[in-house]
Amino acid sequence: MPKTASNTNAASLEKMQAGWKVRYDGEIGRDRTVVNRSGIEVRPLYTPLDWSDSRYVEDLGMPGELPYTRGIYNTMHRGRTWTQRQLIGLGTPQDYNKRVRMLLQQGASAISLLPCNSGFRGIDCDESPVPLLGTCGTVINTVDHMDAALDGVPIDEISTAMNDPTPFTLFAFLLGVAKRRGVPFDKITGTANQSDYISHFVANHMFYRLSQPGARRVFVDHVKFCREHVPNWNPVSVVGQHMQQAGATPAETMGLTLSTAIQYADDCIEAGMDPDRILPRFTYFFDISISFFEEVAKFRAGRRIWARIARERYGAKDPRSWRFKFHGQTSGVDLTQQQPLNNIARVTAQAIAGIFGGLQSMHTDGFDEAMACPTEDAARIAVATQNILREEAHLCDVIDPLGGSYYVESLTNEMEEKILKVMDVIEDAGGMYKASDAGIVQRMIGKSALEYQNRIETGAEGVVGVNCYKSEIEDREVETYRPNRKAMEAQVAAFKAFKANRNQAAVDMALNKLARAANGTENVYEKVVEAADIGVTHGEIIACLRGELGFGHPLMVA
């Protein structure tokens, strides 16, 4: 058989590489083993023997087309940069309003809202210890609070992300504000950032407001309501971030996230919704760790797998259903309390990984975010980091600039394999709902968390200022944000007065309707929206649903 040019090439490449390997081994002596966080061994050199252009069409294609490895849009960041969406939540609604206006002025192009931890826990401010109010999020218990928080913010022009777990009271308050301001619901855009109740159970990340079956019911009703009444809202955000922050490796995280998306899609379809009507509104929320190339590969592989699931499993015809839209947040777990200004460098590296991974929206952490809510200075630097990467470092000029790298393509393929294995484990267990109920997911996450901590303890994973390059000098003091105690006491007093002066009969009637819907077949979420609108509070809505749908138990595994 005559030798083709490419055969000759391959043969001489193999020879070249073998020669290099001999020289490499001779010079390096005993090489260290490098294994990334997902457990993939990383070799010292990648060449066309690991990945070559002959696989281009099959593995990569063009941006905006299958298999979407290079990005979900034709123009990607060159056409439209990512949305700069800083997660914000602090103090009273007035404190929040001041911060959000400052960030919008600085260049943030969308807003988000994190409620106070008492809110996550499902209770109102009058039931909480005052010292804990507003330290990690804004106290929003009523439609009035939401109105004050968004004072002067054009909710019909700007997209909003609500950290708003089931039963989505914050979103109901937002709709109440829209009604007051005469903004039609189809002008409301944004994302229900915390709709992923399974992640709350398995990563034990925040709270358990409702039982798992109750949360499942409200989830489906919420999706249905949004598809009917708020067409430009993304009611589903699958949150891989919770799992990775809780200890899952990047590959496990992507696998668990995609398995969760499958669970939600299955549930919605079983409730009668058409795949092409819901899947375009599925979004994802991820951690971006500092394991740079691994994160880039994680996102590229995830994008490819989702497109396949949407088409092959659900038969989705609309390309919007195939697109893996995601928000990335730089990982807080990687930040350190020691030498806190170093966190600016960490966040920068994480942000670049997210950008090269092709994200649609990003939050960069403040350097003091390992300690407390970011102070104003830290929040400003976090936004500026994104601006610098875009304007000065020119990271948006070329689409998927790491595409075609022997290492990145090979790693993307290996990550894909790992991710699919995790998904198989979940599928074999009967899907994500059952797998979490059985504790399989928690065990996986817990094991990885411990393994990673052991890597830090043994020094296998270096953390500057923590297990290496420790400073002799005292760490610089960082100012810690704490809300104004007096203002918070006034907020609680005003809230109590508001409750006392409401039309109690109307409140009772709204809660009755909510309870009836929970016990029947009416859409529960529709009743949540009605109740919120007439002044029923966050805590009251949750208490009512908890009574009807059951209280959540943490799904713990020893």
Partner 1 sequence: MSYPERVLVTKIGFDGHDRGSRVVAAYLRDAGMEVIYTPPWQEVAAVVKLAMQEDVDVVGVSSLATDHLIMPDLIAALREAGLGHVRLIVGGIVPRNEQPELLSAGVSAIFSPGATSEEIVNTVRTLAVEARAAREDAEVV
Q: Which token pair is 506?
A: 């109307």
Which CB atom, from 7 or from 337, has the smaller least distance to partner 1? Answer: 337
**Residue 478 binds partner 1, judged by CB under 8 A:** yes
Contact pick of 36, 69, 118, 375 for partner 1 (by CB under 8 A)? 118
Cα–Cα dist 131/378, whole Å: 23
User: Would you say 344 and 381 are in contact if contact means Cβ atoms under 8 Å apart?
Assistant: yes
First to last CA, the chain: 63
| Cβ proximity to partner 1, 301 vs 370, nearer residue | 370
Contact yes or no for 343/336 (Cβ under 8 A) = yes
| Separation between Cα atoms, residue 323 and residue 281, nearest integer Å | 10
- To partner 1, the closest distance from the beta carbon of 244 in angstroms equals 10
Q: Where are the alpha helices (DSSP H) in 238-374?
A: 240-246, 250-270, 275-278, 292-308, 319-322, 342-356
Q: Does 117 bind partner 1 (CB under 8 A)?
A: yes
524-533 helix and 504-519 helix, angle to the nearest 10 degrees? 170
484 contacts partner 1 (rule: CB under 8 A): no
Among 14-22, 140-148, 411-419, 476-484, the segment contacting partner 1 (CB under 8 A): 476-484
Q: 113: which strand partners?
A: 162
Closest separation between CB of residue 525 and partner 1, Å?
24
Does residue 282 belong to the site contacting partner 1 (CB under 8 A)? no
The residue from 94, 106, 204, 211 that contacts partner 1 (CB under 8 A) is 204
How far is residue 337's CA from residue 33's CA, in Å, rounded to a whole number? Answer: 29
- Judged by CB under 8 A, the residue of 36, 112, 336, 360 near partner 1 is 336
**Shortest gap between Cβ of 557 and partner 1 (angstroms)?**
9
User: Which of 111-119, 172-180, 308-316, 499-507 is the region at the interface with partner 1 (rule: CB under 8 A)?
Assistant: 111-119
Residue whose CB is less far from partner 1, 19 or 459: 459
Shortest distance in whole angstroms from residue 488 CB to partner 1:
12
What's the CA angle centered on 281, arms 297 and 74, to 5 degrees?
Answer: 55
* Among 234, 112, 111, 120, CA closest to 167: 120
Binding residues for partner 1, rule CB under 8 A, total 43
Could you tell me which residues are beta bridge partners of residue 41? 35
CB 36, min distance to partner 1, A: 20
In whole angstroms, the minimum distance from the beta carbon of 281 to partner 1 comes to 27
Q: Is 370 in the site for partner 1 (CB under 8 A)?
A: yes
Binding mask 427-456 for partner 1 (x = CB under 8 A): -------------------x--xx--x---
CB of 216 to partner 1, least distance (A): 19
- Given the complex with partner 1, which of 130 and 420 has the nearer CB atom? 130
- For residue 490, what is the enclosing H or E element? helix 485-501
Q: How far is CA 55 from CA 60, 177, 196, 309, in A?
A: 8, 52, 36, 21
338 binds partner 1 (CB under 8 A): yes
Q: Judged by CB under 8 A, does residue 206 bind partner 1? A: yes
What is the rounded distance in angstroms from the CA atom of residue 200 to the CA atom of residue 206? 6
- Which residue type sits at 426? I
Question: By C-alpha distance, which of 543, 538, 529, 541 is closest to 145?
Answer: 538
CA 317 to chain centre: 26
Closer CB to partner 1, 75 or 484, in the complex: 484
- Please tell me whether residue 131 binds partner 1 under the rule CB under 8 A: yes
- Report the alpha-carbon distance of residue 208 to residue 201 in Å, rounded: 7
Q: Which two tokens stand for residue 127?
A: 């039931």
Stretch 134-163 residues interacting with partner 1 (CB under 8 A): 135-136
Choices 100-108, 358-366, 421-429, 472-480; region in contact with partner 1 by CB under 8 A: 472-480
**Nearest distance, CB of residue 246 and partner 1, angstroms:** 5
Q: Does 79 bind partner 1 (CB under 8 A)?
A: no
CB of 205 to partner 1, least distance (A): 6
* Cβ(333)–Cβ(368) below 8 Å: no
Is residue 331 part of the contact set for partner 1 (CB under 8 A)? no
The DSSP code sequence of 502-517 is: S-HHHHHHHHHHHHHH
169 is an interface residue for partner 1 by CB under 8 A? no
In the complex, the residues that contact partner 1 under the rule CB under 8 A are 116-118, 120-121, 128-129, 131-132, 135-136, 200, 204-207, 245-247, 333, 336-338, 370-372, 446, 449-450, 453, 457, 463, 465-467, 475, 477-478, 480, 482, 554, 556, 558
